Amino acid sequence: MTLTTENPVPMVVAQGVTKSFGTNHVLKGVNLEVQRGQVLCLIGPSGSGKSTFLRCINRLETSDAGILTVDGSPVGYKEKGGKFYELHPKVIAAKRREIGMVFQRFNLFPHKTALENVIEAPVLLKKIPKAQAIAQAKELLTRVGLAERFDYYPSQLSGGQQQRVAVARALAMEPELMLFDEPTSALDPELVGEVLEVMQDLARSGMTMIVVTHEMAFAREVADTLVFMDGGVVVETGNPREMLSNPQHERTKEFLSKVL
């Protein structure tokens, strides 16, 4: 499936987004844009705010200040007469379904098969007929290379296979935006490639993606834009290949010297 990018409105816009947990200021004014069909990779040290920013995008966390829009609409709010009003939690939950998210841990239901994990949300939340959801789930599991694993339980699958089920589960809700929070960090090194391959296929199909990652080779080859975050702010943004080979900011140089 190739997605259209004709709509000129950016998929994600962040302007001065802040977030604190008590006295810990995690985001200190994040500014960035993600265009439709674009793959943006977020890199940076642990604690720089990357994961928190992702969670603000789909409203798993509430930003304290700034403007954050997805598909042209404010996240968690509606605008009326120049003022912003918080949406009802049910409305927020419904909008969250339009954004797929894949976490570090797979979070699969251990008592359900791969197929059952994938059909759960479409049947319960979107009220899709079960037969239709099963057909779609089989297509998605086949797409991520698990055509022979429909009836396997998570305990019978490798970490890479479980993460691919998690990707298929997110895609089953037909999102326009996919968020990946270090999806390979919990995997054994030999299993990383199979998950990245699925993500590369998604990128080729035109899916808009924001990926928090430590996989610099993936960022170099797949990302349209690379963003380095540190201390809760965007330090440097640029073309991935240029930025990885010739970073302009001293903090970026210091970070990359330790990971490349």
pLDDT in tens, 177-208: 999 999 999 899 999 999 999 999 999 999 99
3-class SS shares of the chain: helix, strand, coil, % to 5: 35, 25, 35
The predicted model gives 243-254 an average pLDDT of: 97
Mean pLDDT, residues 152-180: 96
pLDDT-based confidence at residue 100 (cuts at 50, 70, 90): very high
Q: How far apart are CA 241 and CA 234, in angstroms?
A: 18
The model's pLDDT over 116-146, given as tens digits with 9 standing for 90+, comes to 999 999 999 999 999 999 999 999 999 999 9
Nearest to 178 by CA among 239, 231, 102: 102
Residue 242 host element (H or E): helix 240-245
pLDDT at 6: 60
Q: What are residue 42's DSSP bridge partners?
A: 212, 227
Query: Which of these, 210, 186, 225, 226, lies nearest to 43 by C-alpha position?
Result: 226
d(CA 114, CA 157) in angstroms, rounded, equals: 9
